[in-house]
Structure 1
């Protein structure tokens, strides 16, 4: 079983998605010019394209009125189409260009597990406060998202990636966890 397949299965199980069978070998995916696996469900292709083109209107159209977008690394949540639009606008202000490269997906009913790489370059408007600056610095981190649909629209997106990995790539403090002593 490949590392990607194991990662997706683990993320899916963590999110409560039953994975009945995961093939030990998967056919190689063809990735389009903007980094979207052609075999990915249409909604995933649209979601990745909205991120890669930093198109807040396109992202907002994917969400139902109660949809919630959560970025667990930055502990940020946005609700509804307007919230999804705001999240892309905030990201575009601080990361440009940005790119989502979808590697694999697992679909189980109205739930989709997606493994992808998030990459980009921070602008002078990065979210980090002085004396820390990420302006002009680039990163690429592996990510997993769990997308839940409701009547063909996104009800939830939960993005998971390691913020410490991103910070280290930017040369910003991201010290290793040291458990407290007794």
Structure 2
């Protein structure tokens, strides 16, 4: 067995530590790339929660929320919170499952599954959805949300006719 001088052991130990640190940093960077941005996590949590104000709070004061499938846009935090409250009153177990999120500057494209059970419908639904989130300069609040999914598919999966409309409140 050959003995190494203490200096060689110190150099090898430092090199091994650098390698572990570099690998750990690389893994952390890969995990960060796979993890959706914080605002997306908060957005999904707000949709999956029961407090409509939590969704509205994610937006700037003049933010907009457009549901392209229904063809309606809400302006400001209160209207957006009202939209979440209306969705909760019409759909049991509203749930958004984020599959991927891609950020390009102040825009995030979210690939998700939108699911729930329309009240009075024979079956639940789960449809693919793409959401475009535009953020303020700081990236802290949403200025615009555009949800894209197929209302026809929601109704078909739910076992409802294509001309079904929600009851008035």
Question: How many Å apart are 1:160 and its aligned residue?
Answer: 0.2
Moved more, 163-172 or 113-122: 163-172
What SS does the corresponding residue of 2:85 show, helix, strand or coil?
Answer: helix
TM-score by length of 1: 0.67
Q: Alpha carbon RMSD of aligned pairs, Å?
A: 1.9
Larger radius of gyration: 2
Q: Does 1:106 align with 2:102?
A: yes
Summarize the alignment of residues 148-163 of structure 1 with structure 2, pairs less than 5 Å apart: 148-150=134-136, 151=138, 152-163=140-151
Unaligned runs of 5+ in 2: 1-29, 164-169
Residue 74 of structure 1 aligns to a residue whose secondary structure is coil
1:142 and 2:128 are equivalent in the alignment: yes
Structure 1: 5+ residue runs without aligned partners? 1-27, 30-37, 125-133, 176-182
Aligned to 2:156: 168
Equivalence for 1:115? 111
Contact 2:118 2:158 in 1 (8 A): no
Alignment partner of 2:116: what SS?
A: strand
Once the two structures are superposed, the pairs formed by residues 67-82 of structure 1 within 5 Å of their partners are: 67-82=63-78
The reply on whether 1:66 has 2:54 as its aligned counterpart is: no
- 8 Å CA contact 2:102, 2:109 repeated in 1: yes
2:88 aligns with: 92
The alpha-carbon deviation at position 165 of structure 1 amounts to: 0.8
1:54-98 deviation digits (Å, cap 9, x = unpaired): 321111110101100000001121111101100100000011211
Separation (CA, whole Å) in 1 of partners of 2:60 and 2:156: 35
TM-score after normalising by structure 2: 0.72
Report the CA distance between 1:173 and its aligned residue.
2.5
User: Take 1:138 and 1:55, find their aligned partners in 2: how far apart are those partners?
Assistant: 22
Q: Is the 8 A contact 1:54 1:98 kept in 2?
A: no
Say how many residue pairs are matched: 130
